[in-house]
Amino acid sequence: MNTFASRLIAWQNKHGRHDLPWQGQDAYRVWLSEIMLQQTQVATVIPYYQRFVAAFPSVAALAAASEDDVLAHWSGLGYYARGRNLHKAARIIVEKFNGSFPHKFEDIVELPGIGRSTAAAVCALAYHERRAILDGNVKRVLARYCGIAGWSGDKKVEEKLWQQAEALLPPQDVATYTQALMDMGATVCTRSKPKCVLCPVQGDCVALQSDRVAELPSPRPRKAVPERSAVFLLLMHGNDILLEKRPGSGIWGGLWCPPQFEDEDAARDWFVRNGMEASEGERLDTFTHTFTHFKLHITPLRVELARKPLLAAQPGAVWLDVGEALGAAIPTPVRKVLSVLSPLPPGDNQRLG
DNA sequence: AAATCGGGGAA
DNA sequence: TTCCCAGATTT
């Protein structure tokens, strides 16, 4: 029988990717790759994945590491809550499952950062269990193949997609089939300019037959992006800079950043309140960091101190050499600012107009 | 400049 | 239960 699944499996054996570093690896590695791949494409993930497994070769090693160390290896990937959840889950696995990754779907899906699709992916890829996944690639493939219109964030639409994902599962070879769905979505059934001529299911793809490939899947309804401004206060002493650990939730949760303020006045208030001489500093060029939901215009304000104040005594504040800071758990815009800093002699500040 | 991705947590 | 949010990268 020439089903959807059998054609995908045949395609996978001929044209799929077989050399990804997490393929055929244990559940820990499959899990790690799935979490990284949720937010980032394969080519970008590979070097992060390699460094991560080298540093944390097992669930036990990951659980034994500090959250800071884990986030440092996540730095630049974004979605840092996922790095923290990964670490939390590793500690739970050590506590509750003796350090070996659980085998039951119901146990896996309970872990922080793992939902229905990721749990199913681990079960299918690592344990060869018959489970349906529904990640971004699969949503796109199924929306087109089955002609399902509407945004996949809509509950009803997502329900239909899950139903199809379950219905199309083959009786066996689920690991190969699952990899086929993902590889097909990534290389053939791409968001723009899909290569339908290379598709193993072009013959009965509803979107292709009805000439709706470009319209499916329906995009998310979008809204205007608000803009905000912020000042990064770069307190420097020689080549050392003061960084604060951000609260665990919200933007850049748990990462190290310079003190951040709504505007220069607020930065100055804080500066004076902490017993430092105000009014001197260097205003660096404003740049814009774009998030999904807003734009942040960042103005770094650099102040060179003659001596370090006692701020490091505050919990969550630390003086770091700029080089060390670049190796720490910092978000991208902070990395950008730090990488262009060069040391100035203490007290050598320009007067701000 | 716009689209994206699965899960957590707030509403 | 439903809605909103996170962030770097690609198109």
CA closest to C1' of B8 belongs to A113
Residue A347 lies in a domain: no
CA of A81 to C1' of C5 (A): 11
- Percent of chain A past pLDDT 70, that is, above it, reads 93
For A73-93, write each residue's pLDDT tens digit: 998 888 888 899 999 999 999
Closest listed residue to residue A327, CA positions, set A61, A52, A79, A74: A74
> CATH number for the domain including A327?
3.90.79.10
Kindly list the catalytic residues of A: 34
- CB contact at 8 A, A45 and A212: no
Lookup result for tokens 């699969």: A138
Residue A218 lies in a domain: no
A135 touches strand B (CB under 7 A): yes
With a cut of 90, say whether residue A11 has pLDDT above it.
yes
CA of A161 to C1' of B4 (A): 18
Query: Does residue A235 share a domain with residue A131?
Result: no
Q: How many structural domains compose chain A?
A: 2
CA of A267 to C1' of B5 (A): 35
In the structure, what pLDDT confidence band is assigned to residue A346 with cuts at 50, 70 and 90?
very low
For A278-291, write each residue's pLDDT tens digit: 557 889 988 888 77
A137 touches strand B (CB under 7 A): yes
Element (H, E) at A241: strand A240-245
- Chain C nucleotides near the protein (CB, 7 A): 2-3, 5-11
A134 touches strand B (CB under 7 A): yes
With a cut of 70, say whether residue A312 has pLDDT above it.
no
Query: Does residue A185 share a domain with residue A277?
Result: no
Residue A351 lies in a domain: no
Average pLDDT of every residue of chain A: 88
CA of A342 to C1' of B10 (A): 42
Q: Report pLDDT for A309.
A: 73
CA closest to C1' of C4 belongs to A293
Query: Does residue A167 share a domain with residue A19?
Result: yes
Name the 3-class secondary structure at A331.
coil
pLDDT-wise least confident of A177-181, A189-193, A339-343? A339-343
H helix intervals, chain A: 4-15, 27-37, 42-55, 59-64, 67-74, 80-97, 105-108, 116-127, 136-146, 155-167, 174-187, 206-209, 264-273, 322-326, 332-339
pLDDT-wise least confident of A13-27, A185-199, A207-221, A248-262? A248-262
Range A185-210 average pLDDT: 93
Query: Does residue A10 share a domain with residue A134?
Result: yes
Q: Which domain holds residue A261?
A: 227-339
Residue type present at position A29: R
Query: Does residue A300 share a domain with residue A183?
Result: no
